[in-house]
Amino acid sequence: MSDRLNEDSLADLPEGVRRPAYDRRGVKTGIVHLGVGAFHRAHQAVYTDDVLGEDPQWGIVAASLRSSDTYDALQPQDGLYTLSVRSKEGEALRIVGSIRRVIVAPRAADDLLDAMADPQTRIVTLTVTEKGYCHDPATGTLNEDHPDIVHDLAYRRTPRSAPGFIVEALRRRRLAGVPPFTVLTCDNLPSNGRTVKRVLARFAELVDPELGRFVANEVPCPSTMVDRIVPATSDQDRERIGETLGVEDAWPVVTEPFTQWVIEDRFPQGRPAWENAGAEFVTDVEPYEHMKLRLLNGSHSTLAYLGYLAGYETVADTMTDPAFVRLIEGLMDEEVTPTLHMPPGADLTSYKRALIERFKNPALKHRTWQIAMDGSQKLPQRLLGTVRDRLRDGASIARLSLGVAAWMRYVTGIDEKGAPIDVRDPMAARLRELADRAGGSAERLASALFGVREIFGDDLPKDPRFTEAVTENLTRLYEKGAKRTVSEFGAD
């Protein structure tokens, strides 16, 4: 296919493909987004696209902090891309136009800082994943020894990290007398707004104590909860979507029908009317955040590690096994739900039922290996917070500890058949070294990994209720394998 999706080809797309319902030539930049990955393009960019017809001042300049892949795909397409919403009923395509341009930060730091410092920019959003905040996941504080933080403190004008870019842009705005933008994180961090404020304020303090006070007192960082399952785009997706469009889209995004965005409403410089696109503005996001992190993300990670070890390639494949369904339903109902405290009107039963159906969606090829990435950063939020609450209440952690044990088995880098596992994690080398020293002993492996303070903190390794439950499940995984362990667990 020689033709490419772009402004010129929009008019020739098939009738069933939804197009931007506004004139893109009139859109101004009001948002800078850091971390232009698939999730942002399936979530926040879509909510913004839905309201640009009402208010065109909220176009997005999106930045990649690492690779040029997204720039290379979207720049020839005038920032346009296809959103494919897939379910068992079929596929619906729409073209999203809210991203005005893409910046590759490592080769255009000045361009990105200029965009962030521009008075027209009033919101900076982030989807940089848990590891992108350069923080200690166990404590939620800035990791001052992180190589990117060390670099950014020494070279303020050419930052590498999200905190480095944000604080330098805020410093420039302050010097110019421009009010600070709102920092809106859309990543899975506990109390994500407060966590980001803590990280940014500490980084700013290390730059200049007065700047640190300014960030701590003046920069709004609302909390959010985001929810949508977005698998990695495959070559088959590109080919199928291209055939339907009649033009090539180098990087479409595939997702599910369900989407949710809950936002703490603190935007002193204004914001888009995202509520008109279905976002929910609340005074306290924390109950929704716990609901999503613990029910969806905790279940997802448990499915990913156990499913991968059991030989299942995708979540939907894993959920064809009734034993896995029983395990996840039990995890949600018996161990997670008692730790949640939802506002009146929240329907946890319907939410959990919908999660099971979403996990079973055969149209989404969400690989267990993809979800298993960066477990050292995800475990504290997805499983260990729930573990702490259950231990505090003297309650069982049988299924939660199995998820933790499955992560331990996974990060050894060797699967149940002796084949290598491509473990993608900021701590992969350190975790593999600890696993190699354990020499295949579940007890030695568990003991070594409990010593990784950045993950487990100081409290959990000292609690025998936790360490014994995890070690016992890890022993089962070594002796029986994941599939049999889950099958026997589900039959108890």
Q: Is 149 domain-assigned?
A: yes
pLDDT band of 189, cuts 50, 70, 90: confident
Please state the three-class secondary structure of the chain as a single string: CCCECCHHHHHHCCCCCECCCCCHHHCCEEEEEECCCHHHHHCHHHHHHHHCCCCHHHEEEEEECCCCHHHHHHHHHCCCEEEEEEECCEEEEEEECCEEEEEEHHHCHHHHHHHHHCCCCCEEEECCCHHHHCEECCCCEECCCCHHHHHHHHCCCCCCCHHHHHHHHHHHHHHHCCCCCEEEECCCCCCHHHHHHHHHHHHHHHHCHHHHHHHHHHCCCCCEEEECCCCCCCHHHHHHHHHHHCCECCCCEEECCCCEEEEECCCCCCCCCHHHHCCEEECCCHHHHHHHHHHHHHHHHHHHHHHHHCCCCEHHHHCCCHHHHHHHHHHHHHHHHHHCCCCCCCCHHHHHHHHHHHHHCCCCCCEHHHHCCCHHHHHHHHHHHHHHHHHHCCCCCHHHHHHHHHHHHHCCCECCCCCECCCCCCCHHHHHHHHHHHCCCHHHHHHHHHCCHHHHCCCHHHCHHHHHHHHHHHHHHHHHCHHHHHHHHHHC
Q: For residues 233 and 244, is the Cβ–Cβ distance under 8 A? A: no
What's the rounded mean pLDDT across residues 127-146? 92
What was the pLDDT predicted at 241?
97
The answer to whether residues 351 and 371 belong to one domain is: yes
Q: Verify that 308 and 197 share a domain, yes or no.
A: no
> Looking at the chain, how many residues does it have?
492
Residues 296 and 204 both lie in one domain: no
Task: Work out the average pLDDT over 207-233.
Answer: 97
Judge whether residue 1 has pLDDT over 50: no
Model confidence at 139: pLDDT above 90: no
Residue 439 lies in a domain: yes
**Mean pLDDT of all residues in 256-278:** 97
pLDDT digits (tens, 9 = 90+) for 143-173: 999 999 999 999 999 999 999 999 999 999 9
Tell me the average pLDDT across 412-423: 96
Tell the residue number behind the tokens 């309650």, with chain if given.
395
Asked if 195 and 315 sit in the same domain, the reply is no
Local confidence band at 190 (pLDDT 50, 70, 90 cut-offs) = confident
Q: What is the mean pLDDT of residues 306-313?
A: 98
The pLDDT value given to residue 2? 47
Q: What gap in Å lies between CA 390 and CA 252, rounded to an integer?
A: 41
Q: What is the CATH number of the domain that holds 128?
A: 3.40.50.720
Asked if residue 347 and residue 210 are part of one domain, the reply reads no
Each residue's pLDDT tens digit, 18-73: 999 999 999 999 999 999 999 999 999 999 999 999 999 999 999 999 999 999 99
The CATH number of residue 342's host domain is 1.10.1040.10
Instruction: Identify whether residues 246 and 302 lie together within a single domain.
Output: no
Containing structural domain, residue 467: 286-491
Residues 154 and 250 grouped into a single domain: yes
Q: Say if residue 118 is in the same domain as residue 228.
A: yes
Q: Are residues 321 and 205 located together in one domain of the fold?
A: no
Can you give the pLDDT at residue 188?
Answer: 87
Q: Do 450 and 336 have their domain in common?
A: yes
Of 218, 248, 282, the residue that ends a domain is 282
Would 1 be classed as within a structural domain?
no
Structural domains of the chain, count? 2
Do 96 and 224 fall into the same domain? yes
Residue 270 lies in a domain: yes
pLDDT tens column, 275-291: 999 999 999 999 999 99
Are 371 and 445 part of one and the same domain?
A: yes
pLDDT of 137 > 90? The answer is: no
- Per the prediction, the chain carries an average pLDDT of 96
How much is the pLDDT for 490? 53
Q: Identify the domain boundary among 265, 282, 299.
A: 282
| pTM listed for this prediction | 0.86
Q: State the average pLDDT over residues 246-274.
A: 97
What number is the average pLDDT over the span 435-444? 95
Q: What is the mean pLDDT of residues 247-276?
A: 97
Q: Which two tokens stand for residue 266?
A: 């603190």
- Among the candidates 247, 282, 317, a domain finishes at 282
* Residue pLDDT, tens place only, 357-374: 999 999 888 999 999 999
Per the listing, tokens 């026997």 go with 488
Residue 290 in domain:
yes
